[in-house]
Amino acid sequence: MTWITASFPFLAQASVNKIGAVTTTRENGVSLTPFNSFNLATHVGDNLSHVLTNRAILRDYLSQDVQHPSEPFWLQQTHSSTVLSLPNQYFYECATDTAPIADASFTRESYVTCVVMTADCLPLLVVNNDATEVAAIHAGWKGLANGIIEKTMNVMTSSNDQLHVWLGPAIGANAFEVGEDVRHQFVSQSSQFDACFVPYEDKSFKYLADIYQIAKLQLHELGITHISGGDYCTYSQPELFFSYRREGQTGRMASLIWIKQ
């Protein structure tokens, strides 16, 4: 498998060394077209045995570290604003064999792996100054509009000025076409979001939305300034990333974060 290591440039090196934080790419797995090849999602129509093999490859990668983390705590993501505390709340909500419904998770325990899956939506990985708590957030436009970032920060014990956020691979500002209804969801909350929507030249009431900038504005509003990432476009980089907007039926990448010690 290949992966992208999350970068936290404002975090002390001692704290960087205490965490693992990565996003997978679509490369070097076993899934066939249109899920080729490192699809980690069981809900998109891929052959289940291929998905489980890819998850085993991921597990083997994680276990290479002497301080290796748990099996990822996979979620049923529904663009909700639900946040789970790992591991206890996860097992409480997991009444059946299926994963609980949530779009973010956090933990203060070592070796517990928070994970979200994406294929255009924005993954955010969060760590505090001392690397004693971490979180993973799945933020599509619905989650952003419904406050998934704020709700995640509210359940973390660190003050917001002690939090560091990495914005993982998402659809870029030149590719994310939305309607007036989406723009209204944000502009009605604050006029500052108006700059995140550029009118689409050839289509009435259509806009190109900057999901990275929306998230940054929300983070700044919460007093979080240690922000990094936001350098990729899942839509325009097909060799690296799955994109639901580009392909329709496709796989999912995973963004994971855990405390090593």
Tokens matching residue 197: 């929507």
The secondary structure of residue 70, as a DSSP letter, is P
Closest to 166 (Cα-Cα) out of 3, 22, 61: 22
In single-letter form, the type of residue at position 192 comes to Q
Q: Does the residue 210 lie in any domain?
A: no
How many structural domains compose the chain? 1
Containing structural domain, residue 141: 3-173+224-259
Q: Does the residue 127 lie in any domain?
A: yes
Tokens matching residue 215: 């998230």
The secondary structure of residue 147, as a DSSP letter, is T
Give residue for tokens 């790992």: 86
Which stretch of DSSP H or E encloses residue 199?
strand 197-199
Closest to 28 (Cα-Cα) out of 6, 61, 5, 75: 61
Kindly report the CATH number assigned to the domain that includes residue 110.
3.60.140.10
Query: Could you report the average pLDDT of every consecutive run of 10 residues in the chain (261 residues)?
Result: 94 96 96 96 96 94 75 93 88 66 96 96 98 98 96 96 98 96 95 94 84 98 97 97 95 97 77
Q: Does the residue 248 lie in any domain?
A: yes
Q: Does the residue 19 lie in any domain?
A: yes
The 10 Å CB-count burial string (b at 16+, else e) for 207-245 is bbbbbbbbbbbbbeebebebbbbbebbbbeeeebbbbbe
pTM of the model: 0.94
Round to whole Å and give the CA distance between 208 and 200.
Answer: 6
Q: Does the residue 184 lie in any domain?
A: no
Q: Does the residue 144 lie in any domain?
A: yes
The pLDDT of residue 91 is 66
The secondary structure of residue 255, as a DSSP letter, is E
Round to whole Å and give the CA distance between 66 and 79.
Answer: 35
Q: Does the residue 15 lie in any domain?
A: yes
Q: Does the residue 180 lie in any domain?
A: no
The pLDDT of residue 123 is 98
